């Protein structure tokens, strides 16, 4: 089902505790989404300073690298889809309990993730937008197509599946 781009639905802020619960599988030092607000099929939030833990100095790269952009896409997906299941802010065929089970069993799978850089984006903080464009419920799981914008230079899209 294609989502309606008309954002007339109410804005629903997520508390830091709710965002923490949505991202509970991540180490607390590597949870980057904060100040999240859902509005219909869209999430707007702030991405805090991103560390790059694979170098001696976590701030060696002053910009968001491709691996960290992919991590941000994953976290934004969890907060978008999980936030909709938690708040019932946008009707999707996934309950809060179903989301938690999928999250805890690592059943959020990406079929495709595409990240494009229009320009280099500093490591943070940056504003980000995630949008559920289309979804469908199938016997094997909930499939979704999402788009992302991080800062003023990273655009991404992903096709994900929450496996049952």
Domain architecture of the chain: domains with CATH: 11-163 (3.10.129.30)
CA atoms of 114 and 5, how far apart (whole Å) = 21
89 and 38 Cβ atoms separated by less than 8 Å = yes
Quick one: which of 149, 141, 146 has its CA closest to 157? 146
What pLDDT, on the 0 to 100 scale, is given for residue 141? 82
What average pLDDT values come out for the chain (164 residues) when binned by 10 residues?
68 96 94 95 94 76 88 96 91 90 90 92 91 90 93 95 82
């Amino acid at each position: 089902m294609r989502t309606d781009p008309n954002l007339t639905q109410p804005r629903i802020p997520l508390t830091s505790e709710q965002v923490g619960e949505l991202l509970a599988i991540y180490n607390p030092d590597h949870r980057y989404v904060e100040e999240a607000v859902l509005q219909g099929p869209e999430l707007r939030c702030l991405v805090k300073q991103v560390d790059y833990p694979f170098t001696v100095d976590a701030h060696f790269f002053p910009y968001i690298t491709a691996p960290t952009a992919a991590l941000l896409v994953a976290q934004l997906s969890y907060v978008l889809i999980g936030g909709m299941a938690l708040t019932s802010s946008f009707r999707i065929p996934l309950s809060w309990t179903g989301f938690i089970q999928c999250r805890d069993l690592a059943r959020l799978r990406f079929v495709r993730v595409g990240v494009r850089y229009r320009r280099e984006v500093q490591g943070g903080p940056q504003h980000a937008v995630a949008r559920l464009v289309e979804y469908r419920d199938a016997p094997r799981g909930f499939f979704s197509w999402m788009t992302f914008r991080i800062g003023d230079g990273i655009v991404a899209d992903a096709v994900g599946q929450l496996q049952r």
